[in-house]
Amino acid sequence: MTIMGDRLVALLFCPVAEEGGRTMRTDVRSEVERLLEEMTLEEKIAQLGSVSVVDLLEEGKFSPEKARRLIPNGIGQMTRIAGWTGLPPKQVAELANEVQRFLREETRLGIPAIVHEECLSGFMAKGATAYPQAIGLASTWEPELIRRMTSAVRKEMRAVGAHQGLSPVLDVLRDPRWGRVEETLGEDHYLVARMGVAYIEGLQGDDLREGVIATAKHFAAHGFPEGGRNCAPVHVGEREFREVFLFPFEAAVREAKVKSVMNAYHDLDGVPCAASGKLLTEILRGEWGFDGIVVSDYGAIDMLRTTHRTAADKKEAAVQALEAGIDVELPEINCYGEPLLQAVREGLISEALIDEAARRVLKAKMALGLFDDPFVDPEEAPSTFDPPEHRSLALEIARKSIVLLKNEGILPLRKDIGSIAVVGPNAASARSLLGDYTFTAHLSLDEASVPMASVLDGIKLKVSEKTVVRYAKGCEVFGGTKEGFTEAVEAAENSDVAIVVVGGRSGLSKADTCGESRDRADLGLPGYQQELVEAICRTGKPVVVVLINGRPLSVGWIAENVGAIVEAWLPGEEGGNAVADVLFGDYNPGGKLPISVPRTVGQIPINYNRKPASHRDYVFTEGTPLFPFGHGLSYTSFEYSDLEITPKEIGPASKVTVSFKVKNVGDREGDEVVQLYVRDVVASVTRPVKELKGFERLTLKPGEERKVAFKLSTDQLAFYDGDVELVVEPGTFEVMVGSSSEDIRLKGSFEVVGRRRKVVSPRKIFTEVKIT
Ligand code: BGC
């Protein structure tokens, strides 16, 4: 270590204590304060920025000269060493070490950097495990699975020196035209919150020194953009904003102790989220007690100048963002560089605000253990990427994410079937199984960076030796011609069954139909795919449609005319095998829709938890969705019975237990997601016709019966009243238990009696569930 490094050690020296077998620093706060006192204004501001690793490279190698020029005062974060270089794990780890070594040895105070990366559906790095896309994760309705996934992601990230992941997306989705629908956990705030909290807990782990900081984004209400267009303004009343859109973020802060939050790009009633002190400071820190770092979405601070026009120049943009509460500018130093320095020097913003943001950054670095040891072992890194256990977890999640939308007895298929036509643009494409934030899709590459089987490959591996599999692409996802139809129809005509694999392609490029900035004005199958399905159906052969896509598709004709529909979303590296498992009954599907599927784009928004007055039909279209929220079939069936609600009357600060039995009455093992919905019958403001308040995914053997008991707190019945106060009002609450938001099997009610109660924090956020 050099003099600089020694200086840092001297500065940070303080007693340590043993706790639970782990060495803990006793006084992080005073360490940070000592360091802050030493720092010049330039050094503090440097902690509020990030540098792209690519800018530090010369002919693909780390360049100390460039580093001396670009980050002489140190740096807060490093942007995507793996995600932007595409290097294999060993080299990523080596590069991360070189940057940290430079910072440690060649900057005055030797402060290491936080390396951030993307990890929405796995670490976005070449060769890392590619799990199902978020909308598929939500379809599992199994938070524990997501926790296991992000615990695995954490290990891959930490192995190459990454410390912060820019996930999860906690945007409640209200407009599936929005290309980022696939990145969300669906339309219901309770489901989003449950899955999101599990995601964060898994990623951050029990001890941040081995964990990865999660970033809850995009704060807030990004999933309801005007016209479904990315980054467009969001129009929502304050009560719904808090109750629906803020709820998952509040849960992330209070329940999961998320350590970072990212602002959203859009504006709310004229105020860009990046400049909203109400959002980023008053609510986030003041009301909820968030103690982590707020990072800007990429380029969001400068967008105050270039897009929103609330700032005339970069200096103003920097002042607005810092005052609102953004601590760190990503992905590169721009407004938080020279412009911010000038703003302080000119007295436009107080240095105390810089100190406050720098303090948070330093605290995060300490919590991550970076001051103790910022280095990783490059030799260890390769074996942590996509090991067999991560791959089998990817398979388990993919299987569990698949939703059987319709089945008239065609599925499961026999493995010794004589012949199968496998048709459609997504049938032989492994690439199409990946979500927009996987390495391959994000960088618009054609080849997956991990070994993958397409649906066609999966089917071929599954069927008996004598089964003839005939493949024909038919057409492209969009564009192209119908020339391939003849071959596809012939394949179907000569086969016992046709499996048509259609949908979209995810990513950020013009070749993609879904993903960030790939918004659509309609929700039909793109290109000639609908015509292809119709042509195959005209052969009179049994048809199974497999949808590989990131957004709900309005496939009314298919729902009416095809015998079976499998919604596979973007199932990741093991998706091809998972789909085959479901088609041939090696896995009995149990996923449920985390989002309503509209009959037509004109119905949007069509969330199940609508208000009572939102129920009418259209002249030519029913008002109901094509497939409702929570829907998903199985190869077995389940019976619900013995609903008990105890007690029948409760006070406004109390709990009620809703219990019932569920039994597998078919002849195969299967999964059922039991769902609890509640309706507040009469209230001082309009309340949704039903709201999800609890759920549990159960695996039941044939004939097996379980008792499920949900314990619901009155805190969870609270809503924001006319004065935007969180209250529980006395009255009747209807209870609905079922297999989807529409397939309600049991009904009852209970009464809240006594006074109207104002709910104060901390409030109970999630329902407890007991299975016996
Ligand atoms: C997205 C963020 C993402 C960032 C960096 C932005 O365009 O809105 O969700 O983290 O890019 O990839």
Mean pLDDT, the chain, whole residue set: 96
Q: Which atom of ligand 1 is nearest to the CA of 517?
A: 7
Distance, CA of 523 to chain centre: 21
What is the mean predicted confidence (pLDDT) over 509-537? 98
What is the mean predicted confidence (pLDDT) over 674-690? 98
Token pair for 63: 């360049």
pLDDT for res 761 = 81
What is the mean predicted confidence (pLDDT) over 569-596? 98
* 330 Cα to the center of ligand 1, angstroms: 9
Instruction: Work out the pLDDT band at 22, boundaries 50, 70, 90.
Output: very low
Asked if pLDDT for residue 382 goes beyond 60, the answer is: yes
pLDDT for res 616 = 95
Pairing outcome for strands 293-295 and 497-503: unpaired
Instruction: Work out the pLDDT band at 120, boundaries 50, 70, 90.
Output: very high
Token pair for 40: 């010049």
DSSP sequence for 597-610? B-SSGGG-S--SS-
pLDDT tens profile 341-368: 999 999 999 999 999 999 999 999 999 9
424: closest CA among 564, 317, 548?
548
User: Atom 5, ligand 1: which residue's CA is nearest?
Assistant: 298
Asked if pLDDT for residue 10 goes beyond 60, the answer is: no
Rounded distance between C-alpha atoms, residue 28 and residue 14, angstroms:
9
Pairing outcome for strands 731-738 and 719-720: unpaired
Q: Which atom of ligand 1 is nearest to the CA of 218?
A: 9
* 298 Cα to the center of ligand 1, angstroms: 6
What is the mean predicted confidence (pLDDT) over 146-167? 98
Q: Which atom of ligand 1 is nearest to the CA of 217?
A: 9
pLDDT for res 641 = 98
Instruction: Work out the pLDDT band at 329, boundaries 50, 70, 90.
Output: very high
| 1 vs 155: which has the higher pLDDT | 155
pLDDT for res 28 = 77
Q: Which atom of ligand 1 is nearest to the CA of 183?
A: 9
Share of the chain above pLDDT 90, in %: 95
Instruction: Tell me which of 171, 188, 267, 297 is the catalytic residue.
Output: 297
Ligand 1 pocket test, pick from 79, 118, 164 with the greatest ligand atom count within 8 Å of Cβ, gives: 118
pLDDT tens profile 30-43: 889 999 999 999 99
What is the mean predicted confidence (pLDDT) over 457-463? 98
Q: Which residues line ligand 1 (CB under 6 A)?
A: 118, 166, 217, 297-298, 516
pLDDT for res 603 = 97
Report the number of secondary-structure helices (H) and strands (E) in the chain.
24, 31
What is the mean predicted confidence (pLDDT) over 735-757? 98
User: Atom 8, ligand 1: which residue's CA is nearest?
Assistant: 297
pLDDT for res 335 = 98
* 297 Cα to the center of ligand 1, angstroms: 6
pLDDT for res 244 = 98
* 299 Cα to the center of ligand 1, angstroms: 9
The reply to whether omega before 647 is within 30° of 0 (cis) is yes
pLDDT for res 613 = 96
Q: In what order do the strands lie in the sheet with 705-713?
A: 638-646, 655-664, 705-713, 768-771
pLDDT for res 415 = 98
pLDDT for res 24 = 41
Rounded distance between C-alpha atoms, residue 307 and residue 312, angstroms:
11
Asked if pLDDT for residue 294 goes beyond 50, the answer is: yes
pLDDT tens profile 99-109: 999 999 999 99
CB-CB neighbours of 278 under 10 Å? 14
What is the mean predicted confidence (pLDDT) over 446-463? 96
What is the mean predicted confidence (pLDDT) over 497-515? 97
Task: Name the 3-class secondary structure at 218.
Answer: strand
User: Atom 10, ligand 1: which residue's CA is nearest?
Assistant: 166
Asked if pLDDT for residue 27 goes beyond 90, the answer is: no
pLDDT tens profile 644-662: 999 999 999 999 999 999 9
Task: Name the 3-class secondary structure at 359.
Answer: helix
Asked if pLDDT for residue 5 goes beyond 80, the answer is: no
What is the mean predicted confidence (pLDDT) over 396-421? 98
User: Atom 4, ligand 1: which residue's CA is nearest?
Assistant: 298
φ, ψ for residue 314 (rounded to 5)?
-65, -30
Asked if pLDDT for residue 1 goes beyond 50, the answer is: no
* 373 Cα to the center of ligand 1, angstroms: 29
Q: Which atom of ligand 1 is nearest to the CA of 437?
A: 12
pLDDT tens profile 415-434: 999 999 999 999 999 999 99
Ligand 1 pocket test, pick from 121, 167, 516 with the greatest ligand atom count within 8 Å of Cβ, gives: 516
pLDDT for res 356 = 98
Task: Name the 3-class secondary structure at 130.
Answer: coil
pLDDT tens profile 128-139: 999 999 999 999
pLDDT for res 139 = 99
Rounded distance between C-alpha atoms, residue 755 and residue 559, angstroms:
49
pLDDT tens profile 160-205: 999 999 999 999 999 999 999 999 999 999 999 999 999 999 999 9
pLDDT for res 636 = 98
* 300 Cα to the center of ligand 1, angstroms: 10
| First and final C-alpha spacing in the chain | 58
Asked if pLDDT for residue 16 goes beyond 60, the answer is: no
Annotation marks residue 297 as catalytic: yes
Please state at what angle helix 351-367 crosses helix 314-324, rounded to 10 degrees.
Answer: 60
Structure-token match 């994760």, residue found:
137
Instruction: Work out the pLDDT band at 447, boundaries 50, 70, 90.
Output: confident
Please state at what angle helix 351-367 crosses helix 28-38, rounded to 10 degrees.
Answer: 130
pLDDT for res 645 = 98
pLDDT for res 762 = 86
Instruction: Work out the pLDDT band at 738, boundaries 50, 70, 90.
Output: very high
pLDDT for res 29 = 78
User: Atom 11, ligand 1: which residue's CA is nearest?
Assistant: 298
Asked if pLDDT for residue 14 goes beyond 70, the answer is: no
Asked if pLDDT for residue 17 goes beyond 90, the answer is: no
What is the mean predicted confidence (pLDDT) over 605-629? 97
